[in-house]
Chains A and B, each alone.
Chain A
Amino acid sequence: MLLLIHNCEGVSVTTEKKTIYMDNSATTPVRKEVVEEMLPYMTENFGNPSSIYEIGKISKHAIDKARKKVADALGSEENEIYFTSGGTESDNWAIKGIAFANRSKGKHIITSSIEHHAVLHTCAWLEGQGFEVTYLPVDKYGIVSPEEVKKAIRDDTILISIMLANNEIGTIQPVEEIGKIAKESRIYFHTDAVQAIGHVPIDVNKMNIDLLSLSGHKFEGPKGCGALYIQKGTKIDTFLHGGAQERKRRAGTENVPAIVGLGKAIELATAEIEESNKTLLELRGRLVKGLLKIPKAHLNGHPTKRLANNVNITFEYIEGESLLLLLNAKGIFASTGSACNSFSLEPSHVLTACGVPHEIVHGSLRLSLGRMNSEQDVDRVLEAVPEIVQKLRNMSPLTPKEYRTS
């Protein structure tokens, strides 16, 4: 495949090599099988699921089928699954919905300092509405201690929200233990499982989860479609008011093709967890081992309690955006936690919470593997990265003499 690199002048540069996409935590391509299931719901089966005639019923049944697939993937009942517009809406709904519905019981929420912004900014907004939020610290691997959760519980705590797996460093949290603590204290427990689907087996009952957010585009489903699991009997406010869709709890004509796609994608992803993790672990191991051969390189996150597809490494003395640009020029697509690459010009709050100093956060590189990545891809990355890191180190005023080649 030829690589086209665009800039604002619309000019493109081509290289001969196949592009390597290693940013699967940002988003994933939609699987062919998924697209095929979706297509008829855009053309011939376009009916509104609320309509009583034939093509309306077809749409309704398609949604029911997808709901069953999501429920099966989580070990829940079908009527505990609500389709949303994605991970962000699910997080917003879960947190705001619980907060306002349980305001008479208390105003305190516990979360962690490494949550996705969909959770953190929602909590910050709630603070402005009179709620109080405890942001738990994490250890250097990005793990939330269940003990700390227990200690943070107050008489007026109404919700604990801790993510299942982190999107930047892949750290998997002791969610089952935290869920148990929440249950014993009769506090609602929400988990953002957006990054975990297809990588970590989930059973909401065994893990004591009351609410769980997921998003289709992270597991080869379509963008703009997600779901929220809400355990039966949970006291939660409606988030989107309007029509009677989703058992009157989430209004708006359903995005039928996307819901169908999400259902198919979660079915495939869940069925393949074991097999896919085996392959990914091998690739991850090879990648980490190779990259850590570069001097002054450090692995971020936990060495083993992490998503099988996540590699996050910092290279001292260099900045991540320049690293990404040079990788892009070689047809390799990845991500960084550098301040220079964020619109807020703030360094990654996740790496900062893990105690990584600002100037080192700058040099972080996240490579998130996917089903289409091969050993050859890994080897090409291992060929490209050391060269680029060296080029940037030669350019940096921070690099000590012994790590320069010119």
Chain B
Amino acid sequence: MDYSLKVMDHFSNPRNMGSIENSDGVGEVGNAKCGDIMKIYLKVENNRIADVKFQTFGCGAAIASSSMATEMIKGKTLEEAWKLSNKAVAEALDGLPPIKMHCSMLAEEAIHEAINDYLKKRGLETWDE
């Protein structure tokens, strides 16, 4: 697979890999295309993402996207994090092969799930796509 140097960097040295005990929100999504799974853990303080970790069962692009996406939302408000698109993640990685674009969807969706999980736990209304 022809991956960019950035993808290979984030794949080989993933940032924010792991889990958070007592996290404020967890999102887990599966990929309808190839059956992969990604899990995002959030720590939220003052409506901002104080910490974020991921676990991914998937290809190089999925792992790199998880790493990049978590980097991009760290320190951001929930609203800002919600707006992160898979395209933005792919661009930050200097592009993904077309067949691998769906892998970056996993990150976007897992972040949405995790934010909604946080909102639910707080008794707040969840957000829509």
Q: Which residues of A contact B (CB under 8 A)?
A: 7-9, 11, 317-319, 321-322, 325-326, 329, 338-341, 343, 345, 347, 358-359, 362, 394-398, 406
Contacts and interface: CB of A to CB of B under 8 A. Distances in A.
Interface string B1-26: 11111001001101001100000000
| Chief secondary structure at chain A's binding surface | loop
Contact of A398 (B17, B57, B60): B57
Contact of A8 (B3, B37, B99, B103): B3
B8 A7 contact: yes
Nearest to B14: A395
A394 B58 CA distance: 13
Given A7-B3, A8-B4, A340-B34, A329 B14 contact: no
Interface string B82-114: 000000000000000001000100000000000
With most chain B CB atoms within 10 A of its CB, the pick from A325, A340, A395 is: A340
Contacts of A7: 2-5, 8
A255 to B, nearest CB: 30
Contacts of B5: 7, 9, 11
A329 B12 CA distance: 9
| Chief secondary structure at chain B's binding surface | mixed
With most chain A CB atoms within 10 A of its CB, the pick from B3, B36, B103 is: B36
27 contacts: A7-B5, A8-B3, A11-B5, A318-B57, A319-B58, A321-B59, A339-B35, A340-B36, A340-B59, A340-B62, A340-B103, A341-B1, A345-B33, A345-B99, A347-B35, A358-B35, A359-B57, A362-B57, A394-B17, A395-B14, A395-B57, A396-B37, A396-B55, A396-B56, A396-B57, A397-B38, A397-B55
B52 interface: no
Contacts of B37: 396-398
Nearest to A5: B8
Contacts of B3: 7-8, 325
B81 interface: no
Contact of B63 (A338, A339, A395): A395
A17 B17 CA distance: 29
